[in-house]
C-alpha cells in the first residue's frame, strides 16, 4: 500500500496517483483549485486508490446540495462491491459519508472524530471532522479535537499550517478572540492561500465589532481568497457584514452584486450567504430591487428534498421575503414530513428549523407577535441552526426586529444592550436602541 506525505497507508498501487490525492487534500484544505478534478486524475492512474473516491464523496456530501449528494453516493458506490477490499480507516470514512447522506450529521461527526483519535495524521479526517462539527451543532468539540490531534504532528509535517487555520477558527468559536487572531495571522503568514484562516480572523473582527479593521483585512487579503477559491462567496459575505453593522447599505449591496449574487453554478451554501445578507437588509426595510426573487428561484431548484437545517431555514427566509407563499408552504410541508422521521436532521427541524421558518413567515405576513413568540420559544435551541456565531446571529436579529414591531421594546432593549457590550460602535444597534 502506498503511503501519503504524512506516512499514512492507503489502498492502491501508484505513488503518482497518491501524490495527486495529496495535492487534492491541500486544495480542499485551502478551498482553492479543483480537488475533485485531481481525484479524477488520480483514479484514472489507479482505480484502486479508494482515498480519492472517499475525498470526492466527502467534498460532494459536505456541499449540502441535493444533486451533489447524489454524486457523492455515486463516488463511493464502487466500495459497496463485496469483492473490493479496503482498510478499516477507509471503511470508516465511507461510513461517515453515508451518515451525511442519510441526514445524520451528528453520527458523521462522531465517526470522523473516532478516525482522528486513532489516526491523528489523517488530514482528510481532520478537515472533514472540523467541518462536520461545524454542521452538526458540535462547535464546542472543535478545539479539544484539534488540540489532541496536534500532539501527533510537528511543524515540519506536510499540511501542518492548515491545522493552524482550523484551530484559529475553533478558538474564535470558543470566544478566545486574542489567541484566535494571533494564530490566524500566523497561519496566513505561513500559507497565504489559507482562506479558512483569513476567515477565522474575519470572525474575530466581526464578533468584536472592529468593522474598520475587518474591512481593511478583507481588502488586504482579497487576492488570496477571491481568486479560484470556492470559499470566496462566504468571505464576500463576511466583508459585507461590516458594512451592515455601519449601516452602509449601498456598500453592502455593491459587495453582494460583486461576489455573492447567485448564478446557475451556485451551491446551496452560496445561496444561504445570499439569503442571509438580503434578510438582514429586509429586516431594515432596505429596498434590494429584484435580488430576492433570483435567490428564491435558485433555492426552489435545490429544495426538492430537505437536506440540512441551515439550508432549509435560509430557503424559507427567501420564500417569505419574496411573498412566494405557495413555495413557502410547499417547502414547509416537505420539512414537516422530514421532521416526523427519526433522523438527526428531523430533531433539528422539530426543535428549531420549523419554528424559525414559521417565525419568518409570520413576520413577513405582518404578525410580529406570533413571530416573536415562536422565536423566543426556539432560542434555547439556537445552536441547532449549526454554522458559526456570526451565521446563527440571523436568529436573534430577527427576534429583536419582531419584538420591536410587536411593541415589546423592553425585551428588545435588554437583548440590544447585551449586544452593545461587544459592539459599542455599532450603528445598527444604536438605531434599534433608539426604537425601543
Q: How does pLDDT run across 49-67, given as a tens digit for each residue?
A: 999 999 999 999 988 777 7
| pLDDT > 90? residue 46 | yes
Per residue in 276-299, pLDDT (tens digit) is 999 999 999 999 999 999 999 999
Per residue in 80-129, pLDDT (tens digit) is 999 888 999 999 999 999 999 988 888 999 999 999 999 999 999 999 99
Is the distance from CB of 354 to CB of 377 less than 8 angstroms?
no
Residue 334, judged by CB atoms within 10 A of its CB (0-12, 13-18, 19+), counts as middle
Q: Which of 420, 396, 314 is nearest to 428 (CA)?
A: 420
| pLDDT > 90? residue 367 | yes
The pTM (predicted TM-score) of the whole model is: 0.95
Kindly give, in sequence order, each residue whose CB lies less than 8 Å from that of residue 434, ignoring residues fewer than 6 positions away: none
Residue length, the chain? 436
Per residue in 196-238, pLDDT (tens digit) is 999 999 999 999 999 999 999 999 999 999 999 999 999 999 9
Q: Which of 6, 3, 97, 117 is nearest to 49 (CA)?
A: 3
Radius of gyration for the chain, computed over Cα atoms and rounded to the nearest angstrom: 22
Tell me the domain boundaries of the chain. Answer: 261-436
Would you place residue 345 in the very low, low, confident or very high pLDDT band (cuts 50, 70, 90)?
A: confident
Residue 83, judged by CB atoms within 10 A of its CB (0-12, 13-18, 19+), counts as exposed
Amino acid at each position: 500500500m502506498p503511503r501519503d506525505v504524512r506516512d499514512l497507508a492507503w489502498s492502491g498501487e501508484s505513488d503518482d496517483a497518491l501524490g495527486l490525492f495529496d495535492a487534492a487534500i491541500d486544495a480542499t484544505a485551502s478551498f482553492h483549485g479543483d480537488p475533485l478534478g485531481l481525484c479524477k486524475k488520480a483514479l484514472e492512474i489507479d482505480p484502486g486508490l479508494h482515498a480519492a473516491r472517499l475525498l470526492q464523496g466527502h467534498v460532494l456530501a459536505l456541499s449540502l446540495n441535493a444533486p451533489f449528494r447524489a454524486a457523492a453516493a455515486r463516488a463511493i458506490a464502487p466500495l459497496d462491491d463485496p469483492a473490493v477490499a479496503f482498510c478499516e480507516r477507509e471503511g470508516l470514512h465511507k461510513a461517515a459519508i453515508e451518515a451525511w447522506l442519510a441526514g445524520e450529521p451528528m453520527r458523521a461527526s462522531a465517526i470522523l472524530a473516532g478516525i482522528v483519535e486513532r489516526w491523528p495524521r489523517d488530514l482528510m479526517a481532520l478537515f472533514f471532522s472540523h467541518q462536520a462539527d461545524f454542521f452538526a451543532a458540535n462547535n464546542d468539540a472543535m478545539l479539544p479535537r484539534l488540540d489532541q490531534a496536534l500532539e501527533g504532528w510537528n511543524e515540519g509535517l506536510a499540511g501542518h499550517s492548515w491545522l493552524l487555520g482550523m484551530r484559529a477558527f475553533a478558538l474564535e468559536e470558543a470566544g478566545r478572540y486574542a489567541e484566535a487572531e494571533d494564530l490566524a495571522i500566523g497561519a496566513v503568514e505561513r500559507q497565504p492561500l489559507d482562506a479558512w484562516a483569513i476567515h477565522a480572523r474575519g470572525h474575530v473582527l466581526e464578533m468584536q465589532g472592529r468593522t474598520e479593521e475587518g474591512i481593511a483585512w478583507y481588502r488586504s487579503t482579497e487576492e488570496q481568497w477571491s481568486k479560484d477559491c470556492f470559499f470566496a462567496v462566504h468571505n464576500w459575505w463576511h466583508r459585507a457584514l461590516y458594512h451592515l453593522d455601519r449601516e452602509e447599505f449601498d456598500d453592502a449591496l455593491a459587495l453582494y452584486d460583486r461576489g455573492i449574487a447567485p448564478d446557475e453554478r451556485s451551491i446551496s451554501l452560496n445561496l444561504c450567504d445570499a439569503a442571509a445578507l438580503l434578510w438582514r437588509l429586509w429586516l431594515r426595510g432596505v429596498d434590494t430591487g429584484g435580488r430576492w426573487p433570483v435567490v428564491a428561484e435558485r433555492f426552489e431548484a435545490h429544495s426538492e428534498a430537505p437536506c440540512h437545517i441551515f439550508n432549509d431555514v435560509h430557503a424559507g427566509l427567501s420564500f417569505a421575503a419574496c411573498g412566494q407563499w405557495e413555495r413557502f408552504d410547499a417547502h414547509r410541508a416537505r420539512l414537516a414530513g422530514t421532521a416526523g422521521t427519526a433522523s438527526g436532521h428531523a430533531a433539528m427541524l422539530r426543535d428549531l428549523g420549523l419554528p424559525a421558518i414559521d417565525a419568518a413567515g409570520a413576520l413577513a405576513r405582518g404578525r410580529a407577535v406570533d413571530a416573536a413568540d415562536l422565536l423566543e420559544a426556539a432560542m434555547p435551541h439556537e445552536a441547532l441552526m449549526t454554522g458559526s456565531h456570526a451565521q446563527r446571529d440571523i436568529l436573534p436579529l430577527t427576534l429583536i426586529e419582531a419584538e420591536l414591531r410587536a411593541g415589546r421594546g423592553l425585551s428588545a432593549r435588554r437583548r440590544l444592550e447585551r449586544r452593545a457590550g461587544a459592539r459599542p460602535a455599532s450603528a445598527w444597534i444604536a438605531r434599534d436602541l433608539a426604537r425601543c
